[in-house]
């Protein structure tokens, strides 16, 4: 028995040590106060907000640690008034995801039916926490097969879909943002043929319109809930993309956004280079091993 207790203490100590070591792997900057802050400040800020976007780089191990930590801190502060929303689940898998969260199917079945991302292990802690605490999770992204349609055949091809298929999409035609967001995206496509770039942008816009609509629709039915949406940072940096689409759907929503990414300047960052990206900018340790 003493040996078992010692083993538990050893494991607990190791876990706490691992968590403590991660606290030195990121820096949180409030772009409004221009100060380094803690997660507690983000949580307190959410008292006056409806939606918090966490823009990640998908293989950033510190970013995934922070998503989970912020999610738990939000739950501690706001209890059942919290919903998790994820780019990593598609709208046509909402039923499967709900069945897993409710304990009706096991994780093996979830993996087979929900088309989990290859790095699902990075998001699994939040899903398991939601399941344990009976918290809702929004499968926010449009089905990839329809995004592929928009990419290959243009956005008008979606008009040919059945009523049942369109139920998984935002209202058509969806908005394709112009201005700064489009310019940023086209810069990433430099060198590609114009027609190809245009269709890829249509698919990018479908992701943004779809995720914003999933959040909008959920919030409309659950006005007292705060939503924590995790997504690739390009979709929400500068409050463009998904964030902008959501603000267009409901101008009264109070939105905060985080831009989180590894950077070589981690030891001594020039925050002025990044402060346009979000309400909070989190720089993580460039030398920390990526999750893939």
- In whole angstroms, what is the distance from residue 129 CA to residue 28 CA? 24
Which pLDDT score, from 0 to 100, does residue 177 have? 87
Which pLDDT score, from 0 to 100, does residue 178 have? 87
Which pLDDT score, from 0 to 100, does residue 5 have? 43
- CATH number assigned to the domain with residue range 27-262+273-285, chosen from the 4 options 3.20.20.70, 3.30.70.330, 3.40.50.11550, 3.90.25.10: 3.40.50.11550
Q: Which residue, among 253, 215, 245, has the nearest Cα to 139 in the 3D structure?
A: 215
- In whole angstroms, what is the distance from residue 34 CA to residue 254 CA? 21
**Mean pLDDT of successive 10-residue stretches along the chain, which has 292 residues:** 44 47 96 98 99 99 99 99 99 99 98 97 99 99 98 95 98 93 90 75 96 99 98 98 98 98 98 98 98 98
Contact 198, 262 (CB under 8 A): no
Which pLDDT score, from 0 to 100, does residue 17 have? 44
Helix (H) or strand (E) holding 284: strand 280-285
- In whole angstroms, what is the distance from residue 10 CA to residue 238 CA? 44
Which pLDDT score, from 0 to 100, does residue 193 have? 66
Helical residues (DSSP H) of 23-172, grouped into ranges: 39-45, 61-78, 94-101, 107-113, 124-133, 144-153, 163-166
- In whole angstroms, what is the distance from residue 111 CA to residue 93 CA? 11
């Amino acid at each position: 028995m003493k040996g078992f207790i010692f083993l538990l203490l050893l494991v607990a100590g190791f876990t706490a040590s691992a968590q403590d070591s991660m606290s030195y792997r990121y820096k949180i900057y409030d772009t409004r106060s221009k100060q380094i802050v803690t997660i507690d400040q983000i949580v307190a800020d959410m008292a006056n907000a409806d939606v918090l976007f966490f823009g990640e780089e998908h293989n950033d191990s510190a970013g995934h640690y922070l998503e989970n930590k912020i999610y738990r801190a939000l739950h501690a502060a706001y209890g059942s008034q919290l919903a998790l929303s994820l780019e990593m689940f598609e709208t046509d898998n909402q039923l499967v995801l709900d069945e897993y969260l409710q304990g009706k199917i096991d994780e093996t079945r979830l993996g087979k039916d929900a088309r989990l991302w290859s790095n699902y292990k990075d998001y699994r802690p939040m899903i398991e926490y939601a399941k344990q605490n009976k918290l809702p999770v929004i499968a926010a992204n449009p089905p990839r097969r329809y995004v592929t349609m928009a990419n290959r055949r243009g956005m008008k091809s979606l008009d040919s879909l059945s009523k049942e298929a369109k139920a998984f999409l935002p209202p058509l035609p969806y908005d394709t943002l112009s201005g700064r967001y489009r310019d940023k995206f086209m810069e990433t496509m430099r060198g590609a043929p114009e027609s190809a770039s245009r269709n890829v942008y249509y698919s990018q816009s479908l992701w943004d319109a779809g995720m914003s609509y999933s959040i909008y629709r959920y919030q409309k039915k659950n006005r007292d809930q705060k939503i924590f949406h995790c997504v690739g940072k390009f979709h929400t940096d500068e409050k463009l993309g998904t964030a902008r689409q959501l603000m267009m759907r409901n101008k009264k929503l109070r939105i905060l956004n985080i831009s989180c990414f590894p950077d070589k300047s981690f030891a001594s960052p020039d925050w002025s280079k990044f402060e346009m990206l979000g309400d909070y900018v989190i720089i993580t340790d460039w030398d920390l091993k990526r999750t893939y």
